[in-house]
């Protein structure tokens, strides 16, 4: 069994896998990691290996705690991955993006895949049918846009995100909702259309914490998967077992 730890900007996601099958998944604040890790290892004493990925600088405590109990693979830009990385600055490539592309290779081998992750930032990552990672884009995320309008203006309020917004806002609040919610949906639609025009038979994966609020029409080539990143981390761990 594998233990997979994904430490994001706002929470820690942990999952237990038996080979490629997820047995259970948890999400909690980083300060609760010690307590929750103790529960998990007691429930699953069969765990033999682990992987930790962190987009923050707080992985050291988690690493030391897990290392006491298990062999640990800490994901970084030197970790062996199942794709060719053509990113011009691989040392700056986010660990979350590495995991997402690894998951795309695992789930859709031999396909052109665009992975859209709607989290703190909205990231766009593309791999070719030859399993070559070309790069993508990074855009401000949903909550970042709401907070920035409030922080960098004198009078605009902090508005709570909602799944739907009228095209025409008739109050300041509904105008902000229209600008941000509809703006992101138009961004997503335009990005998918641009990639589709350049790469045939494109498969699109839509994932991340805000993917439900920013729901887009699911066509035959568009798939929603909330566990896509953590599945990618498990695949990296499995891949490194055989190297």
Predicted TM-score of the model (pTM): 0.91
Report whether 90 contacts 69 (CB < 8 A).
no
Q: Are strands 132-140 and 121-127 parallel, antiparallel or unpaired?
A: antiparallel
- Distances in Å between the Cα of 226 and the Cα atoms of 52, 60, 100, 115, 217 are 18, 26, 11, 12, 16
pLDDT in tens, 146-198: 999 999 999 999 999 998 899 999 999 999 999 999 999 999 999 999 999 99
Residue 76 appears among annotated catalytic residues? no
Say how far residue 242 (Cα) sits from the centre of its chain.
25
How is the chain split into domains, by residue range? Answer: 2-74, 84-233
Q: How many whole angstroms from its chain centre is CA 108?
A: 17
Name the percent of the chain lying above pLDDT 70: 97
Asked if the 84-233 domain carries CATH number 3.40.50.10170, the reply is no
Give the domain 2-74 fold.
Answer: Nucleotidyltransferase; domain 5 (3.30.420)
The predicted pLDDT at position 33 comes to 87
Whether residue 50 is predicted with pLDDT greater than 90 in this model: the reply is yes
Q: Which of 96, 125, 201, 210 is catalytic?
A: 96
| CA–centroid distance for 141 within its chain | 12
Q: What is the rounded distance in angstroms from the CA atom of residue 130 to the CA atom of residue 101?
A: 13
Determine if residue 96 is labeled as part of a ligand binding site.
Answer: yes
For 54-112, how does the pLDDT look when each residue is reduced to its tens digit (9 = 90+)? 876 555 677 788 888 899 999 999 999 999 999 999 999 999 999 999 999 999 999 99
Q: What's the alpha-carbon Rg for the chain, to the nearest Å? A: 19
- Cα gap 99→11, rounded to integer Å: 17
How is residue 87 written in tokens? 């990113």
d(CA 189, CA 54): 29
Find out whether 94 is annotated in a ligand binding site: yes
Flag whether 8 is marked binding.
yes
pLDDT of residue 65: 84
Is residue 179 part of an annotated ligand binding site? no
Binned at pLDDT 50, 70 and 90, residue 31 comes out as: confident
Is 120 annotated as contributing to ligand binding? yes
Does 10 count as an annotated binding residue? yes
């Amino acid at each position: 069994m594998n233990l997979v730890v994904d430490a994001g900007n706002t929470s820690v996601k942990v999952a237990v896998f038996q080979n490629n099958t997820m047995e259970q998944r948890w999400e909690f604040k980083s300060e609760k990691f010690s307590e929750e890790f103790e529960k998990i290892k007691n429930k699953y004493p069969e765990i033999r290996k682990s992987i930790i990925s962190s987009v923050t600088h707080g992985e050291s405590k988690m690493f030391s705690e897990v290392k006491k109990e298990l062999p640990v693979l800490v994901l970084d830009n030197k970790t062996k991955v199942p794709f060719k990385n053509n990113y011009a600055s691989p040392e700056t490539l986010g660990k979350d993006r590495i995991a997402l592309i690894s998951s795309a290779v695992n789930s859709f081998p031999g396909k052109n895949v665009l992975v859209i992750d709607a989290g703190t930032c909205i990231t766009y990552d593309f791999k070719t049918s030859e399993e070559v990672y070309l790069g993508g884009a990074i855009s401000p995320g949903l909550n970042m846009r709401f907070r920035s309008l409030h922080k960098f203006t004198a009078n605009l309020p902090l508005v709570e995100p909602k799944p739907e917004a009228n095209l025409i806002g008739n109050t300041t609040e509904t105008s902000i909702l229209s600008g941000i919610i509809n703006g992101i949906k138009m961004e997503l639609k335009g990005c998918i259309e641009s990639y589709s025009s350049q790469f045939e038979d494109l498969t699109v994966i839509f994932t991340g914490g805000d993917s439900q609020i920013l729901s887009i029409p699911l066509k035959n080539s568009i798939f929603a998967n909330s566990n896509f990143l953590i599945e990618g981390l498990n695949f990296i761990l499995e891949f490194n077992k055989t190297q």
